[in-house]
Amino acid sequence: MSTENLHNQEAIDKLKELVDKIDIGMLGSYPTASTFVHAVPMSRQEVDDSGSIWFLFSAESDTHIHLEANDKVSLLYSDVSNYSFLSINGHAEISRDQDRIDKYWNKMIEGWFEKGKEDPNIRVLRVVPDEAHYWDTKSNKLVTFFKVAASAVTGAKKDVGRQGDLNV
């Protein structure tokens, strides 16, 4: 796997491509009373033009409690069918932005909030990446397997994909 560090718009485009393709990632927050990360699956609502990732979540959640004390977050995305992976470390910004709630509201979100869009516990979470790293084979798992096997048998180096930093 070769290294391809991406910067600025290329990095944002790659981050958006992977997050949109994978959708659900594990969002890690850092509780003050524990030495371990607290991780929950979260479905992104949007990756904006600056590379920030947006979610809706509840003010009653453990994640919200943790983020009030420590705004550091980690997001991990994994698509094992295509051997695509993304690791993001950043900081969280929480708001009650009604325009964003309206924009992101859908039937899936409705299932989490019994009181609808007016639920006082709905919060908007913006994750601003501080650092990110990706691994992407640019092909599916089977093709990647055969490339690796061919490299092992023949000794010839096969291009099995790229990995690198995303400097957004």
Q: For residue 113, what is the domain's CATH number? A: 2.30.110.10
- Number of structural domains, the chain? 1
Range of the domain at 112: 2-167
Predicted pLDDT of residue 147: 43
pLDDT for res 62 = 97
Least confident of 21-25, 64-68, 154-158: 154-158
Tally DSSP H helices, then E strands, for the chain.
Answer: 5, 10
80-120: pLDDT as tens digits: 888 899 999 999 999 999 999 999 999 999 999 989 999 99
Per residue in 116-145, pLDDT (tens digit) is 999 999 999 999 999 999 999 865 444 444
pLDDT grade for 153, boundaries at 50, 70 and 90 = low
Containing H/E element for 154?
helix 141-154
Say whether pLDDT at 150 is over 50: no
Determine the pLDDT at residue 146: 43
pLDDT of residue 160: 54
pTM (predicted TM-score): 0.86
Find the farthest-apart pair of alpha carbons in the chain and give their distance in angstroms, rounded.
Answer: 62
Residues 6+ apart with CB under 8 A from 2: 159, 161, 162, 163
